[in-house]
Amino acid sequence: MKKMPDKASPRRGDLSLLSTVVPGLDLPMKLRAEKTKRTIARKGERQPSPPQQRDYVKEKQLAMEKSVDRIVMLREERDSGVLGEEIIKLAQALILCTLPYRPTKERQIVRTARLSDGSKLTVTFSAALNDIEMPYGADRDLMAWLFDKAINSETSFVPIRSANEYFRETGKSRSGDRVKDLAGRLRRLSGLVIGIERPRENSSQTIVLPMIAASHLPHSLTLLELPTGQTSLPGLENPFGIQLEERFFQDIKRHHVAIPRKLWLELQGNKGGAILKDILTFFVYRCYSAQHESVIPWHGLREQFPQDDTNTGRLKQNVKKAVKQLRLLWPEVKIDVLKEGVWVAKAATQLLPDDPTRKRVRRLGRETVDDSPGM
């Protein structure tokens, strides 16, 4: 009689029914192998794709196109007369001679600018307070904002009601990092001493003064968020703010340059950074005040806008960008880049028309004794 196979016995090759279990696991060998394959497959599916390489040339081109579009919009506002409705008043000496562009350990920096008559304006920046470094980079935006508010209010005290006030008026969005940066900028400016040497026809004028005579600010700028109408914290007699040194305030009030506020805000977001902004602002001023043609030599521009990188051609690149953008905004401007430097001449039509009601009148005479408020 043929013996029937035992039902409990596994068929040959049917490993799924093996009772042998891999030590330490509760799955038969074949099931373990299948699970391992599925796990590897899932990991392969979850594996992130390799990062795509950035196209810096394309990004640069797109940024330039957006910048050109914004300048064209400003041109349309200029043609319609809207651009001149709001202006910002900048200290003339700090347009001609600029702060450093990057952090520096130097405690004193000297800048010189050659004026159209061949004379030189010299500005010396000094960090006067211990352990507070020299202002740099975007600190110039805060400085310009303080000067403009002081000149417009005709008082050397600038109340700072909230950090939001600065961000709103300079076109910046608020964030925790920016509030922290603002506190650092105020601290650096509080220790800045500025010396200005101006040539006169038969003499020279020198002024050496701290920019800020006193400041009253809380340790945290978040405490500046006060209820509407309240200018100080309960129990404090004086409002929060910055007190500019009075003689320094009178100097910038007498020697300042007005440019369209929208143009100033556009330059803050410019891809070229602080140096391109400084160069373009200087060209606006120089082309506005030009009474005859002249050439600003390259060595003079290098003294004015010293480069802190190893690319020796960076200055010429930024100058060409500034000239291109200025021509878009102001087609009648007379400015060109030459081998010897930058040629400027008197434009037949000004960027903004004269407006005696706003004390914006283009005066004749030497730039060094021009007491007009600029544009």
Q: pLDDT averaged over the chain?
A: 77
The answer to whether residues 111 and 97 touch, using CB atoms and an 8 Å cutoff, is: yes
Q: What is the mean pLDDT of residues 113-130?
A: 84
Confidence at residue 333, expressed as pLDDT on a 0 to 100 scale: 93
Q: What is the mean pLDDT of residues 166-176?
A: 86
Give the pLDDT confidence of 1-45 residue by residue, as tens digits: 555 555 555 554 454 444 444 454 454 555 555 656 666 566 555
Give the pLDDT confidence of 210-225 residue by residue, as tens digits: 999 988 876 666 544 4
Q: How confident is the model at residue 372 (pLDDT cuts 50, 70, 90)?
A: very low
Strands 334-337 and 120-127: unpaired
Confidence at residue 96, expressed as pLDDT on a 0 to 100 scale: 86
Q: What is the mean pLDDT of residues 226-246?
A: 62
Q: How confident is the model at residue 189 (pLDDT cuts 50, 70, 90)?
A: very high
**Least confident span in 50-54, 100-104, 344-348:** 50-54
Q: What is the mean pLDDT of residues 151-178?
A: 86
What DSSP designation does 368 have? G
Please name the residue that has the structure tokens 């968020």. Answer: 225
Half-sphere exposure of 188 (CA within 13 A, CB side): 24
Confidence at residue 17, expressed as pLDDT on a 0 to 100 scale: 46
Residues paired with 296 in a beta bridge: 342
Percentage above 90 pLDDT, the chain:
22
CA distances to 12, 36, 42 from 33, rounded to whole Å, are 19, 5, 14
Confidence at residue 273, expressed as pLDDT on a 0 to 100 scale: 75
The answer to whether residues 217 and 240 touch, using CB atoms and an 8 Å cutoff, is: yes
Order of all β-strands in the sheet with 294-297: 294-297, 341-345, 334-337
Instruction: For residue 268, give the nearest of 139, 83, 86 by alpha carbon.
Output: 139
Confidence at residue 6, expressed as pLDDT on a 0 to 100 scale: 54
Residue 190 pLDDT > 60? yes
Could you give the angle at the alpha carbon of 92 between the alpha carbons of 87 and 97, nearest 5°? Answer: 125
Report which of residues 325 and 51 the model is more confident about: 325
Helix-strand-coil split of the chain, %, nearest 5? 40, 20, 40
Confidence at residue 89, expressed as pLDDT on a 0 to 100 scale: 86
The answer to whether residues 124 and 112 touch, using CB atoms and an 8 Å cutoff, is: no
Residue 169 pLDDT > 80? yes
- Exposed e or buried b for every residue in 196-211, given b needs 16+ CB within 10 A? bbbbeeeeeeeeebbb
Report residue 31 as tokens: 């099931």
Confidence at residue 201, expressed as pLDDT on a 0 to 100 scale: 72
Percentage above 70 pLDDT, the chain:
70
Residue ranges of alpha helices (H) inside the chain are: 29-46, 56-80, 92-96, 139-153, 163-169, 176-190, 246-254, 261-268, 273-289, 298-304, 314-329
Confidence at residue 365, expressed as pLDDT on a 0 to 100 scale: 35
Q: How far apart are the first and last CA of the chain?
A: 120
Q: What is the mean pLDDT of residues 305-313?
A: 74
Residues whose CB falls within 8 Å of the CB of residue 300, separated by 6 or more in sequence, listed in order: 113, 114, 341
Confidence at residue 77, expressed as pLDDT on a 0 to 100 scale: 86
- Domain segments of the chain: what residues? 62-369
Q: What is the mean pLDDT of residues 200-214?
A: 84
Confidence at residue 171, expressed as pLDDT on a 0 to 100 scale: 82
Q: What is the mean pLDDT of residues 170-187?
A: 87
